[in-house]
Structure 1
Amino acid sequence: METDEELIKGTKFKSLKGKISSATLKSIKQMGFKYMTDIQSVVLPKALDGADIVATAKTGSGKTLAFLIPVLEVVLQCSQTQERQGTYCIIVSPTRELAMQSYTVLQDLRRYHETITSSLIIGGESRKKQSAELSQGVHIVVATPGRLFDHMRTKEFDYSLVKCLVLDEADKIFQYGFEEDLKQIINRLPKDRQTMLFSATHSETTEALIKSAMKDDVETINTDEDNLKATVDGLKQGYVICQTEYRIWWLHKLLKKTKNQKVMVFFSSCKSAEYHHEFFATHCNFSVLCIHGKMSQADRTTTISNFYNAEKMALFCTDLAARGLDIPAVDWIVQFDPPSDTNEYIHRVGRTARGLGAAGNAVLLLRPEEKEFITHLQDAKIYLDKYETWDNYYNLQPKLEAALANENFRRLAVEAFEGYIRALEVKKYKHIFNLLTIDIDVVAKSFGLKEKPDIDVRVGFSKKHRPRKRMAAMLAAKSTVTSKCVKI
């Protein structure tokens, strides 16, 4: 008879005995996993029977093992029954970091499958080396869409034996501009295959993907369907309202209070992440790292490794760079800049409280005029407590002025300011993140600048936004500095 604890924790992996190989079970035990998460217990029986799967589950729910275990079993079966050896499974991830992490978990899982081979195919690495590996007919390929499609157009890569395709974080593969590459990949692969699609959210793009890539009798699984919340139970989350000009002061205080913990801080642009990292690392002597999409792959890999192994550290990041990162024991997710929409919020906070029984904290920083965003989160079943702001802050102005005396840092501050303004334009809720009503001078002050830089905020936007930008520029030109004494 099961104990109350076992009923709460769920199904044990050993219940799969007879359905998966003993070598896979041995690896799972070695990795420290005893109980399945919700998504694993529902997906694995169906996936192991060869069904096409569309699974929607909260970020951090354990979906990586939910597709890697069936992938291994497919390869094992094919390698024993097929006359010709080659690539049997392909796993597609939207970012290099997510692909690398899935590949790392795969190595642990195939530890006792000595004959099964695998290769990581991502941008930023040697094409020649990858091509040589693919030409050998590696059993499992973990890849990003762009680099995978590049190799599919060469004679070295034979993908005619593929029996299983996995699309991980499918909602983001399209969002990051890989739609055409993915269509070509799907069209080129054998039709007689199993396809598994995993996502944290469901959208029209994933619907289109399902129709083009999967069989008609697809198994649709949503472990969030009956939940009253869209985020995991171990997550304690709240929001803070802070006056725009004091945002960096607020972050300084939070970093001091969490200096003995592991923290991820999200920014809306690469330059903003870089600027804040430079200020806090160089001028405040804080232990902080930075990762964003414009860094080289080698630098990004080094940063992830350093943060992964650190017991206490802050990582300043952008959404693209941090997408899918599975870092152990992250204590705090700090959204210094609000996400573009509710789905992005879910993905951000999914970096903490990952796995069965895990706990974590998340805080969202909002300007007073952005408070309505909380209503949209509630509509998406995301409920945040309101956290009170602190009564006093350390005055950072002298440090900021000293830093800005350096011309290179001042240029970085201007670029960060511009990146912040540009990011507002692409947010979904224009009436909340309103470029027409924002006080440009106060935003400049939040970057330590005494006055708004002489820049064209219209730079980099499509023609359809130019009338809106023209109006914003006119308002900015008319704005004057207003000083208020506020308690936050």
Structure 2
Amino acid sequence: MDVEEIISQSSYSMLEGKIDGKILKALKTMGIDKPTRIQAEALPHLLRGQDLIGAAKTGSGKTLAFLIPIVDKLINLRISAKDGTGCIILSPTRELALQTFEVLKKLLAHIDLSHCLIVGGEKKAKDVLKLKKGANIIVSTPGRLLDHLQNTEKFHCNNLKILVLDEADKLLEAGFEKHITGIIQLLPTKRQTVLFSATMGENVKNLARLAMRTDPVLISVTDSKMSTVSGLQQGFYICPVEKRMSWLYKMLKKSKKLKVMVFFSSCKSVDFHYEFFSNHCKASVLSIHGQQSQARRKEAFHSFTEAKSGILFCTDVAARGLDIPSVDWIVQYDPPTDPKEYIHRVGRTARGLNNTGNAVILLRPEEEKFIEFLQKEKVYLDKYTFEMPNNELQEMLEDIISNNGVMKTLARKAYLSFLRCYKTHPLKKIFNINSLDLKLAARAFGFQEQPHVDFLPKKKK
């Protein structure tokens, strides 16, 4: 079996007799017939037990690329509960860990391998019970796993066969380097190690050197011509800052039967816009951000995943790795911190094989240079035109902010956090707070008079 053979035949049925039949049955039940490019290229090496570093864009199908060989290996080794943990998969966020775990559950529908999800935000006592029973496959975030490795009696990984570091670049961005180093020091050195990452900076390479004992196979399926998938139609719209809310209202109204994700720069902004659209516009809106409880984030993620249409307001906590099916539009209402974050956001649509999707980023007239900046990263956007909305929505918003104390407080917090994100934006030459009219920006939050801002110097007249 070689890469070209898998790619040319492009069907999992060709693996009959080469991987366990129960895995093929599960894939068929999941409606998966063909491997994606990363699966086709990685599977031969991983099934042979080789260490591997994979560079692949988000949405490329890497979760199954590592889950299939993991399950096949543990079946062949006849791992049971008494053998303890045979595989650990580390994820940077609770949401990505949950998503990986959901795919794993489907793959194990007819396979007797114990598995558990270990993430922060859940009661530790529940984790302990799962681990003491002997979980063959653990999907976890680094902090919680290291805690259990150091402190939970009868939890051992002496029989560990495989370690997977998923979204390695994000693991490092989230500050997990010390946790991962601690985990690696407590694991058997004789194991297969797999690392996947959307980007391959020097820090990711250093992590690979730390985690791997053999020379790994290197696989990259990134397109040298474009940084985003080909099925994605993406563009930008130049909108005056005071018209932003009216534009968003019209955009969402036109997308009632579609599935839309809207990205904001702060948790406070998500809360304000969620309250306005769900309670005052009666829109079908969900929200996810990092300051919500784990239970609420989990519920919103599940609801939006299962929905055929609807709107999800979110921060970048939802931008990386999450596999939400059939997202029609990605709206970047607030600017990303850099081109990489732009790419990760739009990666929530046009996922998998033969998928299409749409994306739009909202920019002020002063920010059009961001498009040239994206082009340097091989991301090419069309210029979109939209019919400008009338003032009806703006008048309603301003009336609510004038008369509703709760909404006024939410709006003020959102406005100030919006300004703070501009003040600290890494691309200050493009997203420059000095070129922002604070009074006009306040109108997008429903204020007729600009709220007091104490963290910006007064502009000279």
Matching of residue 302 in structure 1 with residue 299 in structure 2 = yes
Between 1:314-323 and 1:291-300, the stretch displaced more is 314-323
Q: Deviations over 1:360-419 (max 9, x none)?
A: 111111111111111121111111111013244343232112221211211111111121
Instruction: State the SS of the aligned residue for 1:46.
Output: helix
Instruction: State the SS of the aligned residue for 2:59.
Output: coil
What amino acid sits opposite 1:100 in the alignment? L
Q: Check whether the contact 2:263–2:331 (CA below 8 A) recurs between aligned residues.
A: yes
Q: Check whether the contact 2:142–2:179 (CA below 8 A) recurs between aligned residues.
A: yes
Note the 1:200-211 alignment, pairs <5 A. 200-211=198-209
Note the 1:384-463 alignment, pairs <5 A. 384-404=381-401, 405-457=403-455
Q: Give distance in 2, aligned partners of 1:456 and 1:153.
A: 45
Residue 46 of structure 1 aligns with which residue? 45
Q: CA distance change for structure 1 residues 83 and 288 in 2, over 3 Å: closer, same or farther?
A: closer
Q: Give distance in 2, aligned partners of 1:205 and 1:417.
A: 35
Residue 462 of structure 1 aligns with which residue? none
Could you tell me how far 1:10 is from its partner in structure 2? 5.7
Residue 109 of structure 1 aligns with which residue? 107
Residue 151 of structure 1 aligns with which residue? 148
Of 113, 120, 127 in structure 1, the residue corresponding to residue 124 of structure 2 is 127
Q: Which runs of 5+ in 1 are unaligned?
A: 1-5, 458-471, 480-488
Matching of residue 239 in structure 1 with residue 236 in structure 2 = yes
Q: CA distance change for structure 1 residues 9 and 448 in 2, over 3 Å: closer, same or farther?
A: farther
Q: Check whether the contact 1:135–1:157 (CA below 8 A) recurs between aligned residues.
A: yes
Q: Give distance in 2, aligned partners of 1:241 and 1:218.
A: 46
Matching of residue 473 in structure 1 with residue 457 in structure 2 = yes
Q: Give distance in 2, aligned partners of 1:314 and 1:277.
A: 10
Instruction: State the SS of the aligned residue for 1:79.
Output: coil
Of 360, 364, 387 in structure 1, the residue corresponding to residue 361 of structure 2 is 364
Q: Give distance in 2, aligned partners of 1:320 and 1:442.
A: 28
Residue 164 of structure 2 aligns with which residue? 166
Q: Check whether the contact 2:97–2:140 (CA below 8 A) recurs between aligned residues.
A: yes
Could you tell me how far 1:322 is from its partner in structure 2? 4.5
Instruction: State the SS of the aligned residue for 2:78.
Output: helix
What amino acid sits opposite 1:381 in the alignment? K
RMSD: 2.0
Note the 1:10-409 alignment, pairs <5 A. 11-79=10-78, 85-114=83-112, 116-154=113-151, 155-224=153-222, 226-404=223-401, 405-409=403-407
Instruction: State the SS of the aligned residue for 2:196.
Output: strand
Runs of 4+ in 1 over 6 A off after TM superposition: 6-9
What amino acid sits opposite 2:28 in the alignment? K
Between 1:432-441 and 1:171-180, the stretch displaced more is 432-441
Q: Give distance in 2, aligned partners of 1:8 and 1:210.
A: 27
Q: Check whether the contact 1:10–1:36 (CA below 8 A) recurs between aligned residues.
A: no
Q: Give distance in 2, aligned partners of 1:340 and 1:362.
A: 17
Residue 466 of structure 1 aligns with which residue? none
Q: Give distance in 2, aligned partners of 1:452 and 1:110.
A: 56
Q: Give distance in 1, aligned partners of 2:291 and 2:64.
A: 30
Q: Check whether the contact 2:245–2:394 (CA below 8 A) recurs between aligned residues.
A: no
Q: CA distance change for structure 1 residues 313 and 76 in 2, over 3 Å: closer, same or farther?
A: same
Q: Give distance in 1, aligned partners of 2:391 and 2:450.
A: 23
Could you tell me how far 1:185 is from its partner in structure 2? 1.3
Percent of aligned positions with the same letter in both sequences? 49
Between 1:153-162 and 1:262-271, the stretch displaced more is 153-162
What amino acid sits opposite 1:354 in the alignment? R
What amino acid sits opposite 1:473 in the alignment? P
Could you tell me how far 1:302 is from its partner in structure 2? 1.3
Could you tell me how far 1:427 is from its partner in structure 2? 3.1
Could you tell me how far 1:249 is from its partner in structure 2? 0.9
Q: Which runs of 5+ in 2 are unaligned?
A: none
What amino acid sits opposite 1:28 in the alignment? L
Q: CA distance change for structure 1 residues 139 and 384 in 2, over 3 Å: closer, same or farther?
A: same
Q: Deviations over 1:172-208 (max 9, x none)?
A: 1111222221221122211111111112222232122
Q: Check whether the contact 2:12–2:34 (CA below 8 A) recurs between aligned residues.
A: yes
Q: CA distance change for structure 1 residues 450 and 250 in 2, over 3 Å: closer, same or farther?
A: same
Instruction: State the SS of the aligned residue for 1:311.
Output: coil
Instruction: State the SS of the aligned residue for 1:125.
Output: coil
Q: Give distance in 2, aligned partners of 1:426 and 1:187.
A: 37
Tell me the matched-pair count.
Answer: 455
Q: Check whether the contact 1:74–1:164 (CA below 8 A) recurs between aligned residues.
A: no
What amino acid sits opposite 1:361 in the alignment? N
Instruction: State the SS of the aligned residue for 1:436.
Output: helix
TM-score after normalising by structure 1: 0.89
Could you tell me how far 1:110 is from its partner in structure 2? 1.1
Q: Check whether the contact 1:263–1:334 (CA below 8 A) recurs between aligned residues.
A: yes
Q: Give distance in 2, aligned partners of 1:334 and 1:180.
A: 35
What amino acid sits opposite 1:133 in the alignment? K
Between 1:138-147 and 1:189-198, the stretch displaced more is 189-198
Q: Give distance in 1, aligned partners of 2:90 and 2:128.
A: 17
Q: CA distance change for structure 1 residues 287 and 36 in 2, over 3 Å: closer, same or farther?
A: same
TM-score after normalising by structure 2: 0.94
Instruction: State the SS of the aligned residue for 2:76.
Output: helix
Could you tell me how far 1:456 is from its partner in structure 2? 2.9
Between 1:431-440 and 1:135-144, the stretch displaced more is 431-440
Q: CA distance change for structure 1 residues 113 and 7 in 2, over 3 Å: closer, same or farther?
A: closer
Q: CA distance change for structure 1 residues 26 and 113 in 2, over 3 Å: closer, same or farther?
A: same
Could you tell me how far 1:426 is from its partner in structure 2? 4.1
Q: CA distance change for structure 1 residues 187 and 436 in 2, over 3 Å: closer, same or farther?
A: farther
Q: Give distance in 1, aligned partners of 2:143 and 2:423.
A: 27
Q: Deviations over 1:28-49 (max 9, x none)?
A: 1111111111000001111111
Between 1:403-412 and 1:61-70, the stretch displaced more is 403-412
Q: Deviations over 1:81-111 (max 9, x none)?
A: x996110100011111111111010011111
Q: Check whether the contact 2:165–2:195 (CA below 8 A) recurs between aligned residues.
A: yes
Could you tell me how far 1:234 is from its partner in structure 2? 1.1
